[in-house]
Amino acid sequence: MKRTMRWAAFFLIILITVTLIACGRSKTGVEEVTASESAETTESNMSPAYSKAIEDRRAEYEKTGEYQKVTYAIYTWTGSPIGIERIQEAMNKILRKKLCLEIELLAMDFSSYGQDVHLKLTNNDEQIDWFGGNVIGYTLCVNNGFCYDLNKDDLLKNYGPGIEELIPEKYQEACKYAGHLYGIPPVKDYAITTAAIVIGKEYLDAIGYEYEEDENQEVHSTWDEIEKIYVKLQSKFPDKWVFAVSGNQFAQGSIVDNLGNDWFGVLLDPTKDRTVTNLMESNEWMDMVERMHRWNQMGFISPDALSDKSSSSARIKSGDYMSMLAPSKPGYKSQISGECGREMIVFRLGQSIIKSTGITSVISCLNQSSPDPVAAVQLMNELYTDPELSTLLVWGEEGVDYVTKPDGSIDFPDGVNIQNAEWYHTMNWEMPNQYICPYWTGDSQDLGSRIMEFNANAETSIALGFTFDNSQYTAEYAALQNIYDEYSNQLLYGFLDPVSGTAEFNEKLKQAGLDEYIAEKQRQFDLWLAENDKNY
């Protein structure tokens, strides 16, 4: 009870902050200021160090005629949008005047982002300042020396005051690794509703399925009911695959907390468990793999699932698949419908929870090799706080990528749609602060405050903020991960017998040192619990 009340009080502070921001907007949802006026307002609150950094860049520009460049590597479901150079230039018109620097947007397909950015950071032959550490693996990024400590020399305090205000100390603590702040999360939903099945509305209509959505546009359901729906969908649409699998099905389909970036030692019920357990020996694991095996045998899953690296939403968008598993939240129906290119219905099967990595599930990291960390942090500070810049990044240019409707919401201009839009990446949750932007038609105007309420009301893992340091177990981790990569998707996609396959999986994991790895994770977790007074 104490823990719930503390978090509720904390989220109330965030809710008030979001509400105050919203109250300062015009009916379009964006503060009614020009870029120039916004710059003047920001500069009036600058520290001397913040102002001097801009002055120094202006002096350097006068000498060279070149602006300091800061690169921001983002990811989308479909690679680099057509309009990226136009959006980049629109942002730079503001940034040249406001910060005397330019942004370079590097957009990559999510499916290859982790591998591509990891290679670029390793080779260090191409400038990348900000990158999504969560896609590569936050712990991996830190252990490989890719990340800059944002608290070093008070970097964030002096050059990211807006970030510090929007991401309070409690959230920053949850992002720290060995006491160092190597990344910052966006303003977003930190809780998730686990185990949501989303199905195309057109397919449900075709089988005559009736449902009732709640205030969050979710349909409360059960796994058994979903399976009955799938049988009908398969019969009605024999030329389509019923279920598009994804590589993170266990994270999305259960409350199990993996305590970081691997599945080698978990909390089965993170709201109360203090014992680190082997997931692959649990009932939760068997329930999942038995269901997937049954679905595979029933013909719901494509035989190409193991080799198809496209996202689940992209497969649904193609028209070849009808449903997928995902985590839900307020406003998710609009988001996933955009990603899938058709209206989707969200079936809620699980509960809402903030896991240990709930804050770091999306996290921006500054490259240790950034040529100008000060300029990089100042840029990110503006992306968190400037409505005009944030709107360009999230929605694009007014009149080209969106138009404002009489009710204050925004929508596509005439002739523009999901299929031909030049800047409709549906990755708003990746961006620093989508809630200072206009709201898309279909979303509620108070979505930001509803998200904060969602966070406040969710159960919280007792391990929130814990990060397992496996730097002394890199050989064991590599061996375990290789085995996991060999077996996990075969089991989670239903291609192996759940009993014999899991037994063989566990045997190989134990031979590779799983028990010792879990014991070390337990030891570190016990120390962290004691140090952080987690005696609930």
Answer for the pair 382, 95: CB distance below 8 angstroms, yes or no: yes
Task: Name residues whose C-beta falls within 8 Å of residue 17's C-beta, 6 or more positions apart in sequence.
Answer: 165, 166
Per-residue pLDDT of the chain (536 residues; tens, 9 = 90+): 444 444 444 444 444 444 444 443 333 333 333 333 334 434 556 789 999 999 999 999 999 999 999 999 999 988 899 999 999 999 999 999 999 999 999 999 998 999 999 999 999 989 999 999 999 989 889 989 999 999 999 999 999 999 999 998 888 988 998 889 999 999 999 999 999 999 999 999 999 999 999 988 999 999 999 999 999 999 999 999 999 999 888 888 999 999 977 999 999 999 999 999 999 999 999 999 999 999 999 999 999 999 998 999 999 999 999 999 999 999 899 889 989 999 999 999 999 999 988 899 899 999 999 999 999 999 999 999 999 999 999 999 999 999 999 999 999 999 999 889 999 988 999 999 999 999 998 888 888 888 889 988 999 999 998 888 888 999 999 999 999 999 999 999 999 999 999 999 999 999 999 999 999 999 999 999 998 876 54
* CA–CA separation, 39 and 53 (whole Å): 15
Contact 264, 465 (CB under 8 A): no
| Per-residue pLDDT at 45 | 60
Judge if pTM exceeds 0.85: no
Other beta carbons within 10 Å of 415: 6
Return all residues near 529 (Cβ < 8 A) that are at least 6 apart: 274, 462, 535
Are 526 and 463 within 8 A, CB to CB? no
Please check whether residue 536 is in contact with residue 2, taking contact to mean a CB–CB distance below 8 angstroms.
Answer: yes
User: pLDDT value at position 247?
Assistant: 80
Quick check: helix, strand or coil at residue 505? helix
Q: Which domains does the chain have, with CATH numbers?
A: 2-189+359-457 (3.40.190.10)
**Looking at residue 360, what DSSP letter applies?**
T
321-328 and 344-348 as β-strands: parallel, antiparallel, unpaired? unpaired
- 260: tokens are 């970081």
- Per-residue pLDDT at 419: 87
Structure tokens of 251? 């994270």
Q: What is the pLDDT of residue 43?
A: 53
CA 23/CA 20 separation, integer angstroms: 5
Residue 138 amino acid letter: Y
How confident is the model at residue 33, as a pLDDT? 33
Q: How many residues does the chain have?
A: 536
CB atoms within 10 A of CB 12: 13
Please tell me the predicted confidence (pLDDT) of residue 520.
Answer: 97
Q: Which alpha helices (H) appear in 223-282, and where do they start and end?
A: 223-236, 249-253
pLDDT tens figures, 38-67: 344 345 567 899 999 999 999 999 999 999
Question: Which residues lie closer than 8 Å to 2 by C-beta, 6 or more apart?
Answer: 536
- Spell out the residues 6+ positions from residue 122 whose beta carbon is closer than 8 angstroms to its own: 144
Q: What is the reported pLDDT for 532?
A: 80
Helix (H, G, I), strand (E, B) or coil at 433: strand
Q: What is the pLDDT of residue 119?
A: 96
| Burial annotation 145-184 (CB, 10 A radius, 16+ → b, else e) | ebbbbbeeeebbebbbbbbbebbeebbbebbbbeeebbbb
First vs last Cα of the chain: how many Å apart?
Answer: 8
- Residue 330: which of 458, 519, 181, 209 has the closest Cα? 458
Task: Output phi, psi for 352, to 5 deg.
Answer: -90, 135
Q: Do the bridges between strand 364-366 and strand 130-132 make them parallel or antiparallel, or are there none, so unpaired?
A: antiparallel
Residue 326's pLDDT is 95
